[in-house]
Chain A
Amino acid sequence: MLQVLANGLALGAAYALVALGFVLVVNAASAVNFAQGDLVMAGGFAAVALGRLWPVPGIVLLPAVLAIMAVLGLLLSAIAYFPLRGRPATAVFVSTIAVGLMLENAANAIFGAEPQAGPPLFPGAVIALGPVSLSRQALAVIVTAAVLITAQELLFARTRLGQRLRATAQDREMAAAIGINVTWMIALSFALAAALGGAAGLLLANSFFVTPTDGTNYMLKAYIAVVIGGWGSIPGAVAGALLIAVFEVVYPSLPLLVPALPASWLFSETTATIILYIVVLAVLLLRPRGLFGEAALRRA
């Protein structure tokens, strides 16, 4: 049981970064960034490419990947968000879908369609460690993700820049009225979201490889995490992501933990996915607010 939970936690930590990036943009710009998943994939490929240039451990490459992805995030906001301000929300959906498409196919053109392995976070073989068979890489992923999430929290809570970002997220008009450069804050939020997503990509690229078509999957996970956790809630996004990952890992393992249950299709991975979607739909229909979020029904 502990083993299963530990695996879920490692995966969940990475998903949490993705969901966090997604919710930051939701808050700052009231926009759904459909390209978030593809940003994760881009970060993974950035790690792969850099790892080929410099054969150093992934942890050394992390700052470079963060920087590259931040720039990509700024670019994304410039071409897919800012030109569409004032338009209905669906326009940004479509523009970010388009950018995601471009990212996926650029990765395909440059790197090919087959999976690639990124450099491990810390050097050394992937071996079991401790009473729980947690691989060193998985542990490193959890720790790194926790550090990044804490760093983001500190940024928001303790720095002036963070205060401005939060103010923009809470009420754009008010923030503009008190002199905050809202445009710049939104752009930075995109940069932050891309950096977090890219970090997740790097973390995942070694254990789970990276393929150009990964984007949609990560996007869906982030979207679901944010809905379950509560639209617009940062702790909700992290909680939602962890819940998804743990569910993904625990549900199919139930026959192992409860011997009475048959190891049949009922507990297969596919069934787990179907159940996840049904749960999400149920949440949307019965408690759209999710765990921590705001009301969701349209007015008129």
Chain B
Amino acid sequence: MKMEFARGLRAPLTAAAGGLAIWPFVFSGAYDLRLFTLAGIYVLLVLGYQFIFGHSGALSLTQGAFFGLGAYATAILAVHAGWSFPETLVLSVAVSTALAAVIAVPVLRLESHYFALATLGIAQVLLLVCREWVPLTGGVNGISGVPGFALLGHAIPNGVPSLILVWSLVIIAAVLAWRIQGGIYGLGFHVVRAAPAAAGAIGLDGGRFRLVAFLLSAAYAGAAGALFVRVNRIVSPDVLEFPLMVTCLAMTVIGGATRIAGAFAGAVLLVYLPEWFRPLDKYYLIAYGAGLLAMIVVAPDGLIGAAARLRQRIAPEADTPPEPARLPRPANTITASLVFRDVAKSFGGVRALQGVSFELRRGEILGLIGPNGSGKTTLVNIATGLEARDGGAVLYGNRLLTRLPPFAIARLGIARTFQNVCLAGEMSALDNVAVARSLDGDVDLETARSQAMYLLETLGVGGVAMMRALDLPHGVQRRIEIARALALQPDILLLDEPAAGLNEREQADLASRIRTLRTLGLGILLIEHNMPFLAGLADRLVCLHEGRVIAQGSPGGVRQDPQVIAAYLGLPQRAPG
């Protein structure tokens, strides 16, 4: 699996890595080696935090608690039961991950401000328990006399040997993290974080991503805690206190929350900074706060992100687009229709939909029309699981769709686009489409990108593949969304105003593309206001007005239906005569 290393900053980061490697040989006093070892431990902590805070965008405040838990687990079992270093390392990781698993289910589904408080509350409870449970934890004095590192019976003394041990583990952990967040899985994280509605629409289970991220963050923190207590030989409740959490947060933000190099930069910098800033005395901590504030305001993607952007500006590196590749022919599974039966929906007192019934068959193009506010988009949202209906049902084959989450519905083969385009703005057009290929287990990032390229070209937007989605004009973004929907190789396609912003030639291209899809057997629903576009395209039309179906049938018939005309002209429903 080919992945990029140090995207955009290859030369500077390689040089920095080299510098980091020879640093302990240049500064080799006991004090310097100790600091460097501590820095490594914090790198590990931050790498873990990046999963939940950086990639999942969730402000978890238990990272310090997981760290402390790992430290205490190691201390208790090393001192009271003589467990060896490998045993306690595994245990610390297990204990922290187990706690994360226990609290994950209820806590992860909370909205961000509740999630932060819940995690903070859990951390506080752990701290209080730790202080009070004196026989187990030594109370506020903690546990001292923790033995140092030892492997296979041989003690590994402080100084260079410990440093090498710690940093070897850090490098392994970093490579692991890199493999997890790189590749197509990493793109999935980005979409779940940046455009959650889109993530569901392409079959990504946001809850699953967050759970994995949370467990990983805990595991890394537990490991870091286990190492920490072996270096310091003592553990006390301050490892569970809020300042450590703030340090972890600061390191992550300042280094760069989503880049591996950011973990290194942030951790190393913030371990050394207090030592370098000793002259500032008590004003150091004010500078620390100011630095954190400056970083989040000016460079939200941290030092590494800022460096990458700077480099892009100085020496812009145009990424070469990949060669397009056709998608494999999908196995023909269901030939079912999408059936709407008596669907009803109210918002507050307003009846948005009432008694809506119709069928979208395979191999047909159905136009859904109606004045603004008639409920068209709401209907699609209900079909794709974004909103819950209040009455009626949506069926696909034999399956009742109305209780499934959006990602499950997408995986059944129902794809959609959004009325207000929903792309991950910071990702390239290519990647926005490529990530939708992740449902196909055989596909790696390179292949997905090639296939995405093909799809973009068929929609006429291949030229902007390497550009960031948010830099692109609205009409182009809409077509990227369509490409993304097609990447799912769906059987049912729900398009919300796909022709908006397209000129006539582009509309013609799109129309022919849609006809091809019809030939392939897809059922296509088009929400549109653009009548000429629909005219030559739709096999049938359904007209909604104020939440009810007022006409359905052939395009000619529907367009001449007096009720439809009245609705569009804004006249009351039952026109006289």
Direct contact of A and B (CB under 8 A): yes
Residues of A within 8 A of B (CB): 26, 32, 79-80, 83-84, 87-91, 93-95, 97-102, 104-106, 108-109, 216, 220, 223-224, 227, 231, 265, 270, 273-274, 277-278, 280-281, 284-285, 288, 296-300
Asked whether A270 lies within 8 Å of B128 as measured between CB atoms, the reply is yes
Q: Given A90-B53, A281-B122, A300-B196: A79 and B129 within 8 A (CB)? A: no
CB within 8 Å for A95 and B293 given contacts A216-B242, A220-B120, A284-B117: yes
B125: contacting residue among A84, A94, A277, A299, CB under 8 A: A277
C-alpha spacing A297/B122, complex, angstroms: 19
Smallest CB gap from B121: residue in A:
A277
Q: Which residues of chain B are near A26, meaning CB under 8 Å?
A: 113
A-contacting residues, B93-138, CB 8 Å: 106-107, 109-114, 116-118, 120-122, 124-125, 128-129, 131-132
Which residues of chain A are within 8 angstroms of B129 by Cβ–Cβ distance?
274
- Residues on the B chain within 8 Å of A109, using CB: 282-283, 286
Write out the residue numbers on chain B whose beta carbons fall within 8 Å of the beta carbon of A99.
Answer: 289, 293
* B118 close to A284 (CB less than 8 A): yes
What residues make up the interface of B, taking CB atoms closer than 8 Å to A?
A: 53, 57-59, 106-107, 109-114, 116-118, 120-122, 124-125, 128-129, 131-132, 196-197, 199-200, 206, 242, 246, 249-250, 253, 282-283, 285-286, 288-290, 292-293, 296-297, 300, 386, 406
Residue contact B128 to A274, C-beta cutoff 8 Å:
yes
- A97 CA to B247 CA in the complex, in Å? 11
Q: Is the CB of A98 within 8 A of B293?
A: yes
* Chain A interface mostly: helix
Q: Assess the B289–A94 pair: CB atoms within 8 A.
A: no
A32 to B117, CA, bound (A): 10
CB contact between A284 and one of B110, B124, B125, B293 (< 8 Å): that residue:
B110
Contact present for A299 and B285 (CB under 8 Å): no
| B128 cross-chain contacts in A, Cβ below 8 A | 270, 273-274, 277
| Whole-angstrom CA separation of A87 from B288 in the bound complex | 22
Pairwise interchain contact A98-B117, C-beta atoms closer than 8 A: no
Given the known A-B contacts A288-B110, A298-B110, are A97 and B121 also in contact in the complex, defined by CB atoms under 8 Å? no
Question: Which A-chain residue is minimally distant from B129 (CB atoms)?
Answer: A274
B285 near A101: Cβ-Cβ < 8 Å: yes
Q: Is the CB of A280 within 8 A of B289?
A: no
Q: Is the CB of B296 within 8 A of A98?
A: yes
29 CB contacts below 8 A, A to B, read A80-B293, A83-B297, A88-B57, A88-B112, A89-B113, A90-B58, A90-B59, A91-B300, A93-B59, A94-B249, A95-B296, A97-B249, A100-B289, A101-B246, A102-B289, A105-B286, A105-B288, A216-B242, A227-B114, A274-B125, A274-B129, A277-B122, A277-B128, A281-B121, A284-B107, A288-B111, A296-B110, A297-B110, A298-B110
- Which residues on the B side are within 8 Å of A284 (C-beta)? 106-107, 110, 114, 117-118, 121
Main secondary structure of the interface of B (DSSP, over half): helix
CB distance from B224 to the nearest CB of A (A): 21
Of the candidates B125, B206, B242, B286, the one whose C-beta lies within 8 Å of that of A102 is: B286
Q: Is the CB of B110 within 8 A of A101?
A: no
What CA separation (Å) do A117 and B196 show in the bound complex?
A: 50
A98 close to B121 (CB less than 8 A): no
Name A91's closest neighbour in chain B (CB-CB): B296
Residue of B nearest to A26 (CB): B113
List the 3 closest A-B pairs by CB distance, nearest first: A300-B196, A101-B289, A102-B289
**Shortest Cβ distance from residue A223 to the other chain B in the assembled complex, whole angstroms:** 5
Q: Check if B106 sits within 8 Å of A285, measured CB to CB.
A: yes
Q: How far is the CA of A220 from the CA of B104 in the complex (A)?
A: 22
The docked-state distance in angstroms from the alpha carbon of A198 to that of B119 is: 27
B113 and A281 form a contact (CB under 8 A) = no
Contact pick for B293, options A79, A93, A224, CB 8 Å: A79
Q: Which residues of B contact A84 (CB under 8 A)?
A: 296-297
Q: Are B111 and A298 in contact (CB under 8 A)?
A: yes
Nearest CB on B from A277, distance (A): 5
Are A105 and B289 in contact (CB-based, < 8 A)? Answer: yes
Bound-complex Cα distance A80 to B290 (A): 11
